[in-house]
Structure 1
Amino acid sequence: MDVLTNLPSYSKNVFRKGYFSWLLHQCRGWGKFSYGLLVFNLVLQIFSLVQSFDVAPLQSVISFIGGNLSVACVIGISNRSGIQGWAGAISAVCIASVGFMAGNYATAWEQIGYLLFLDFFCILDPKWNDNIQAEKFESWLEWIAYIVFFGFAWAVLYYIFSLTSDPRVFLDSLNLAMAITGSLLELNRKREQYYVWTISSVFTIALWMQTMIQGDGNFALIFSYSVFFLNDMYAFFSVRGWFRSDTHTRA
């Protein structure tokens, strides 16, 4: 709301002198684990590109770009880096394109949602998460409320995408429902969103594995979401992990 009501002011965060140098500087000072994940993912993405290029060159290249930038986005969030906005926006376009090519329409629309309601605002306000105070659920009733919301969202999305030619509507609609639930938790600044994003990574890996087995995809997004999962585990078990920090959030 603050960005929308002060758009001319926030647009100056992009259209200013030295902006690209500033973006490059945002990739410095990260932890060794973060750089290690980036390199590890890059190696896996190169393997996927080489393995699938002869079969589907366009999809392979788009998946390669999306797989690398999506990991850069998530790791950027973990390091409170302003690079997350552009990395997230470009990767969202790539993953949405691959989703439409593969018939995973719910996943494609999920990425479009991230692009419109998250990435653009991160670009305009790169310090959006500097002063966020995450809160825990106050009672078990909140768990029930969000579980009911997830169940309702999944039922509606399953019905909507069952009307399309989506060949994997069960997992595809499930992932979109989890993304919407996780985004609602994030909007309300709840730490419990961590569980949703972690479980979502697992089911997204399952979706793209099924997609690959059925001949509509490759390893690229399987690898990137596996790296997401590793990043989640590190956030949970590290000394400054998820539940040990008052300001850490993930999108």
Structure 2
Amino acid sequence: MFDRYVDVLSNLPKYSKNVFRKDYFSWLINQCRGWGKFSYGLLLFNFVLQVFSLRQSFSDSPISSLIFFIGANLSVACVIGISNRSGIQGWAGALSAVCIASVSFMAGNFATAWEQIGYLIFLDFFCILDPKWNDNIKAEKFEKMSEWIYYIAFFVVAWGIIYYIFSLTSDPRVFLDSLNLAMAITGSLLELNRKREQYFVWTISSIFTIALWTQTMLQGDGNFALIFSYSVFFLNDMYAFFSTRGWFRINSQV
């Protein structure tokens, strides 16, 4: 289960050479080429929405608005990079995680902030060091109903613990905030075990994250930026479900 982590951590000098090389930046740029029209369309669509959000909120809170703007654009680039098996996902994910964690702490969404820190440490860092992190991944289907019960039980227990922990803080939206972190941990566990059903979790998670940041905005602690970006995530998930080239449809044959 943890073989890839052990391999990278045990061979850091070897994997660091993937970053500290002369052609690294040109290689990163090339990682953004050859994507499908739908992917480029989502990037552009999200950018237009983010410009709108920035214009709406900049005069009231320029610094947080800029952080929202950068994080929201990079998070979409990361997710689309994952869909296209692109090495850009590591840096886009890491930088967006820093931005989203920052604005989450500012807004009081502490569970979401720690969710992003978790992504940074346990996913983005390794994607940067090992550009082939997502190569040759073959997802497996649940074979038994007991697997559904196991992961649902894990989610319920995780949510209960997380809710209790963050209810001790000043988190003003602890219900949705803790829910999103519990779903992220469950989805990550499914991803780590290469289960196809992770896509159900990530899709549902997008919906609840939109709800969280909508509530955050209505209470005066955010803007449209992450509402827009997670809506784009949802569109990307729908593409994965229904397109013949989508990740979910391809892996449904496994």
> Which category describes the TM-score, using the shorter chain as reference length?
over 0.9
Question: Are 2:6 and 1:6 equivalent residues in the alignment?
Answer: no
Could you say which residue in structure 2 is the equivalent of 1:122? 127
- Give, in whole Å, the separation in 2 of the partners of 1:194 and 1:243: 7
Q: Which runs of 5+ in 2 are unaligned?
A: 1-5
Question: In the TM superposition, what is the alpha-carbon distance from 1:243 to its structure 2 partner?
Answer: 3.4
TM-score in terms of structure 1 length? 0.97
Aligned to 1:149: 154
1:81 aligns with 2:86: yes
Once the two structures are superposed, the pairs formed by residues 95-114 of structure 1 within 5 Å of their partners are 95-114=100-119
Q: How many residues align?
A: 248
Contact 2:180 2:208 in 1 (8 A): yes
2:3 is aligned to: none
**1:1-251 pair list within 5 angstroms:** 1-246=6-251
- Give the conservation status (yes or no) of the 8 Å contact 2:39–2:80: yes
Cα deviation for residue 94 of structure 1 reads 0.1
Unmatched tracts of structure 1, length 5 or more? none
Higher relative contact order (CA 8 A, sep 6+): 1
CA distance in 2, matches of 1:243, 1:68: 24
RMSD of the TM alignment (CA)? 1.1
The C-alpha deviation readout for 1:196-218, integer Å capped at 9, x for no partner, is 00000000000000000000000
Q: Structure 1 residues 238-247 or 95-104, which shifts more? A: 238-247
- Give the whole-Å Cα distance in 1 for the aligned partners of 2:41 and 2:249: 23
CA contact (8 A) 1:131 1:247 kept: no
- Secondary structure, aligned partner of 1:166: coil
| Alignment check: 8 A CA contact 1:88 1:115 kept | yes
Identical aligned residues as a percent: 83
Q: TM-score, normalised by structure 2?
A: 0.96
Instruction: Work out whether residues 134 and 191 of structure 1, in 8 Å CA contact, stay in contact via their aligned partners in 2.
Output: yes
CA distance in 2, matches of 1:220, 1:126: 29
